[in-house]
Chains A and B, each alone.
Chain A
Amino acid sequence: MARSFSVRAQPGFTTVALICFFLLYLPIATLVVYAFNAGTSIAIWEGFSLRWFHQAWNNSQVIDASIRSVQIATAAAILATICATMAALATTRTRAYRGLTAKYAFINAPLMVPEIVTAVALLIVFSRVKIATGYSGLGYLILAHTAFCIPFAYLPIRARLEAMDLSLETAAADLYATRWQAFRRVTLPLLWPGILAGLMLAFVISLDDVVITEFVKSGGQDTLPTYMLGQLRRVVTPEMNAISTVFLAISILIVTVFFFISRKRDV
């Protein structure tokens, strides 16, 4: 067609979309800029400085909370990914068997329940268990994080499995590979990008959690997000911006890697 009429265009849509993208990034950009402010205000610019990054780095509470966050996220992401991989293997590429639909529903259940309700439920149960056993370590937080990370890890792994060609494993079985050999040498290498994507997703989800952690943690078990939530009640200095900036940078890095892994569609 030689006319300049596009069937895809809708009036005003592009403008609204571009405004949305602009507004989506404006607050984040402001936050990052003021992290480099020399003054103590998060609104008045007084020149460039790295003092708030120094201050955050020397704040032992921030460092402790960061280390704890990473510990919990690592443990929860690994556990969730192992569980999710096994569950995905058990629920894909099969005829419908008894309880399959129930399994789907159950695995995805943590996504349906409002976070605050799960948080309150875990507070009730874990406070009893803490008294009964006397144990009040990080185990509770790791268990809670693992539970809500499982559906997120499950998603990309299941998607990968369903897109995979079953004939390769059949070929392996025809060549007298045992079930384990076929899994180890054929299924697992093909599934690896999905597992990696699931692991990263679970890690980011665990790292970001505020509500459930806030209710489950014992005294002195602040993670970085719950520490920040506590600080927001006080007078906020650009130190918060500096911490947020580093946190954002790490998240964006992980998400970028995840994005490119999950976009690769060669099986």
Chain B
Amino acid sequence: MSAASEAETRFEREDTRRRWLLSTPALLIILVAAVGPLLVVLLYSFLAPGSYGDVRWQFSSDAWFNVFLERDIFDDTLAPAWAHLSIFWRSMKLAFITTLLTLVFGFPTAYFIATRDERTREIWLFLITIPFWTNLLIRTFALQEVIRQEGLLNTLLLKLGLISQPIPMLFTDFAIGLGMTYVYLPLMVLPLYASMERIDFRIVEAGYDLYASRFGVLRRIIVPLVKPGIIAGSILVFIPSLGAYVTPRVLGGGKSMMLGNLIELQFGQGRNWPLGAALSIALMAIVMIALLFYVRNASRGGPTHG
């Protein structure tokens, strides 16, 4: 090996070492306060619950068993744990509906922003960014005020004579779905906008030249072009919706629980930490599946979608 290339290898090795040193603080903090504790949760899901919360150091698969099944205390028969399964089902359903609704409303909104001229586009983009960065709890609280029994919406509907008495909207699945759509809409609009911004409208024009209808252009040209944005936005909305805690707590009350609230319950009044840990891991697993789906679809998109 020549002296020059040897010096180069040494330089590269030195460079890599320095790069590792530089990233150590960030990696260490994330290890200690984000990723590492997840492994502890996995461990806890295989232990027995302590009488006053926490765990006893004794292997037990009861927590995982209890996620899906329950044993009748009288005759020892097994039955599906409907209480848990129905909450899983509600969480999946609401997360799915939320994703769909944000897509239905977010797509035209993003398209509207992307087709403004340079200057006004900045303003519209700014208007969608503001809710994105303002406190989620405050936005949820704001919506609660609008849909409560004596809130703005009911008052308005009463005054217009459309209803004769206020509709109870708060503390229902409807309220949670509406609330999540409201708070997560910007998460859908921003990635959609990012891929729409790059649309070459000459292709769209070519479509019209070939006698495509408005809808044909939308379906055959625009939607395929922004598919990566649709997938990214859907993932960004689906994951926090599935694990939502604040919105169902404020808008769903104790009646309409989601997975996040069920997990919290195990660490609070439930005093069953292993069950809470197992439920958390189950939630993580669903999120991982969604992410894998995303990675597979994103890599299939090819180089044009960057």
Interface residues of A (CB under 8 A from B): 5, 7-14, 16-18, 20-21, 23-28, 30-31, 34, 41-44, 79, 82-84, 86-87, 89-91, 94, 97-99, 103, 106-107, 109-110, 112-125, 127, 143-144, 146-148, 150, 154, 204, 207-208, 210-211, 215, 225, 228-229, 232, 240-241, 244, 247-248, 251-252, 254-256, 258-259, 263
Contacts and interface: CB of A to CB of B under 8 A. Distances in A.
Contact of B133 (A23, A86, A123, A255): A255
- The binding surface of chain A is classed by DSSP as helix
Contacts of A24: 127-128, 131, 182, 185
A206 B297 CA distance: 32
Interface residues of B, number: 90
A34 B131 CA distance: 19
B29 interface: yes
A20 B22 contact: no
A255 B152 contact: no
A128 B214 CA distance: 62
A89 B111 CA distance: 35
Interface stretch (B66-74, B76-84, B143-151): B143-151
A113 B38 contact: yes
A118 B37 contact: yes
Given A87-B27, A90-B20, A106-B30, A31 B141 contact: yes
B204 A7 contact: yes
A150 B111 contact: no
Nearest to A43: B150
A7 B137 contact: no
Contacts of A83: 25-26, 29
A112 B201 CA distance: 34
A127 B54 contact: yes
Nearest to B134: A251
Interface in B29-49: 29-38, 40-41, 44
A99 B245 CA distance: 34
B276 A90 contact: no
Contacts of B40: 121, 124-125
A20 B105 contact: yes
A103 B23 contact: yes
Nearest to B13: A97
B243 A117 contact: yes
Contacts of B126: 256, 259
B145 A115 contact: no
Contact of A43 (B12, B139, B155): B155
Given A14-B112, A112-B291, A255-B133, A90 B245 contact: no
Contact of B41 (A91, A120, A241): A120
A30 B134 contact: no
B263 A120 contact: yes
B214 A10 contact: yes
A81 B222 CA distance: 38
Contacts of A255: 129-130, 133-134
A30 B287 CA distance: 35
A250 to B, nearest CB: 10
Contact of B138 (A18, A110, A148, A244): A244
